[in-house]
Amino acid sequence: MVERVDVLWPGDDDHNGRLRRVFYKLPDGRTGSSLELVTEAVPDRGHTYTMISRDGDDHIGHVRLDPLGPNRTRLVFDEEAEMDPAVYEFINRHNEAHMRAASDYLSAHPEYRPDLIMDEV
């Protein structure tokens, strides 16, 4: 459901401090946007982002890759947000579909991130 991401400030070499504007679809067909600040970025492992709200009700999200063993990595995503239940359900349904699609793609294309393939011990 993300239509576009504009990087307004790149942040440091690991993207900490990155400021981005994210454009996304809303349930009524309109396009919404949010400012997001990236923090706690760890290269090739994940980051935290804060959706900066006009009213001070910021939303926090986390994206993380956890190596589990040979050829196995867990994708972890969570977001803390208080919003209209219908909007939340719409966003959550799309987030889940995108995470499944990313997982399916990476499973079908292990060559995409050979650094995530761990040798058996």
- The winner for highest mean pLDDT among 27-31, 44-48, 67-71, 96-100 is 44-48
CA distance 75 to 2: 18
CA distance 18 to 46: 13
What value, to the nearest 5°, has the Cα angle with vertex 42 and ends 36 and 46?
Answer: 60
Write down the pLDDT at residue 68. Answer: 80
Write down the pLDDT at residue 4. Answer: 93
CB of 7 within 8 A of CB of 20? yes
Write down the pLDDT at residue 114. Answer: 62
What residues contact residue 77 under an 8 Å CB cut-off, 6+ apart? 61, 62, 63, 64, 95, 99
- Alpha helices, DSSP H only, in 1-121? 85-108
Q: Which residue has the higher pLDDT, 64 or 26?
A: 64
CB of 92 within 8 A of CB of 75? no
Q: What is the pLDDT of residues 32-81, one digit of tens each?
A: 888 999 999 999 899 999 999 888 888 899 999 888 876 677 888 888 87
pTM recorded for the entire structure:
0.76
